[in-house]
Structure 1
Amino acid sequence: MVAVTGEVDLATAPQLEQELADALATPGATGVRVDLSGVEFMDSAGLRVLVAALKSAEDAGLTLTLAAPHERVRRIIEITGLSEVFGLAGKA
């Protein structure tokens, strides 16, 4: 699991990108769960990292799951139409 806290923006997205890449490259991993409960703000740079990580996971036959996104972050994911891509549609 990768636990994310604070803000995910242009300045912090590269760190998240590296952590997700490392988690997906863990030998024997079947997937990665990304705990977003501690993230209060995410901009397009953060969304780009999550979409790229999802594609990398799928290409490797792994799963990438977003868990417990803060309401503000969930709203951003919904507005951009990514809730269905990440399997958050209909979840509260």
Structure 2
Amino acid sequence: MEGFEVRREGERVVMILGGEIVMDMIQEYKVRMEHHLCADGCREVVADLSGVTFMDSSGIGFLIGLRRRAESSGRRFRLQNPSPQINKLLNMLRLSDFFAMGQNRQGGNDRSA
């Protein structure tokens, strides 16, 4: 999957990212997510990274900013299904403990609180 899709699942907002997450896309993604971060009844924001093949530093900054924005408004934030490439990048940058991470509901192994 290429691109960006947002789904509302009850109290959860799931942002599904795919392809390359690079600087050229970040501003549009921020604008699109702002509405969802402010939505009534949203208690958790999930970034599904299963389709992401590459992420530059601005993509990492986008995820860090989303986490901070979500948590500052009382919402949980977690990464879901990071692809092997992204998992390696998060580990290399020592961010795997910074983010709550998990698999989709079918996969179990959810490390989020």
TM range (shorter): 0.7 to 0.9
Alignment identity in percent? 27
Aligned to 2:47: 34
Cα displacement string for residues 40-81 of structure 1 (whole angstroms, at most 9, x for unaligned residues): 000100000100110111111101110001110111111111
Q: Determine helix, strand or coil for the equivalent of 1:41.
A: strand
Aligned to 2:7: none
Distance in 2, Cα, partners of 1:21 & 1:31? 14
Aligned to 1:13: 26
Of 57, 64, 67, the match for 2:77: 64
Higher helix residue share: 1
Question: For the pair shown, which has the larger CA radius of gyration, 1 or 2?
Answer: 2
Q: Determine helix, strand or coil for the equivalent of 1:47.
A: helix
- The CA RMSD measured in Å over matched residues stands at 1.7
- Conserved? CA contact 2:77–2:100, under 8 Å: no
Aligned to 2:10: none
- Taking structure 2 as the reference length, the TM-score comes to 0.73
Residues 1:51 and 2:64 aligned together: yes
- What is the CA distance between 1:15 and its match in structure 2? 2.4
Distance in 1, Cα, partners of 2:91 & 2:31? 25
The residue type equivalent to 1:14 in the other structure is Q
Higher strand residue share: 2
- What is the CA distance between 1:83 and its match in structure 2? 0.5
- Taking structure 1 as the reference length, the TM-score comes to 0.88
- Conserved? CA contact 1:2–1:19, under 8 Å: no
The total of aligned residue pairs comes to 90
What are structure 1's unaligned runs of at least 5 residues?
none
